[in-house]
């Protein structure tokens, strides 16, 4: 005798699976967004930086010379050596990443993740918001 599941049981199971999938998608989205930090969070982080923190400014060298976060290294997102510079970054240490407004650093974030760098703190409002908050830059 062949047994068939009732439509009610099938619907209940599909509803449960859909709910679980929605929770998983939400969790992934929250984790991805959790790596974006504000300029105030970045300033607080720099007051007591985690061990091994690398601060990466992906603006052009000219923009970098105009002023950058203290201790930052310049890795021009549009520069010919950008990809090789990413490969030289430590994969197991935290990286604070920023640009002028957050666009280039978002692209750099994706490139770094593709190379296995996962501990990235993205100052997604950029150095423009840093200056608007009255925070200091180094020249």
pLDDT of residue 106: 96
pLDDT of residue 15: 55
Q: Read out DSSP for 50-107? A: PTT-EEEE-S-HHHHHH-B-TT-EE--TTSTTHHHHHHTS-SSS-EEEE-SSSHHHHH
Is residue 22 a contact partner of residue 15, using CB atoms and an 8 Å limit? no
92 pLDDT above the threshold of 80: yes
19 pLDDT above the threshold of 80: no
User: What one-character DSSP code corresponds to residue 134?
Assistant: T
Query: 102 falls in which pLDDT band (50, 70, 90)?
Result: very high
What domains sit in the chain, N to C, each tagged with a CATH number? 1-34 (no CATH), 35-132 (3.40.250.10)
126 pLDDT above the threshold of 90: yes
8 pLDDT above the threshold of 80: no
pTM of the model: 0.76
In the chain, the percentage of residues whose pLDDT exceeds 70 is 76
Phi, psi of 15 (to 5 degrees): -65, -45
Per-residue pLDDT tens digits for 23-62: 444 444 434 444 999 999 999 999 999 999 999 999 999 9
pLDDT of residue 5: 60
């Amino acid at each position: 005798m062949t047994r068939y599941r009732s439509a009610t049981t099938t619907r209940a199971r599909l509803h449960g699976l859909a709910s679980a999938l929605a929770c998983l998608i939400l969790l992934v989205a929250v984790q991805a967004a959790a790596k974006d930090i504000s300029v105030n969070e970045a300033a607080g982080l720099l007051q007591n930086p985690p061990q091994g923190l690398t601060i990466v400014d992906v603006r052009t060298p000219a923009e970098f010379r105009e002023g950058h976060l203290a201790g930052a290294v310049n890795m021009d997102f549009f520069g010919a050596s950008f990809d090789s510079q990413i490969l030289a970054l430590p994969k197991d240490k935290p990286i604070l990443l920023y640009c002028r407004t957050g666009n280039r650093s978002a692209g750099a974030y994706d490139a770094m993740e593709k190379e296995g760098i996962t501990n990235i703190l993205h100052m997604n409002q950029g150095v423009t918001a840093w200056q608007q908050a009255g925070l200091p830059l180094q020249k």
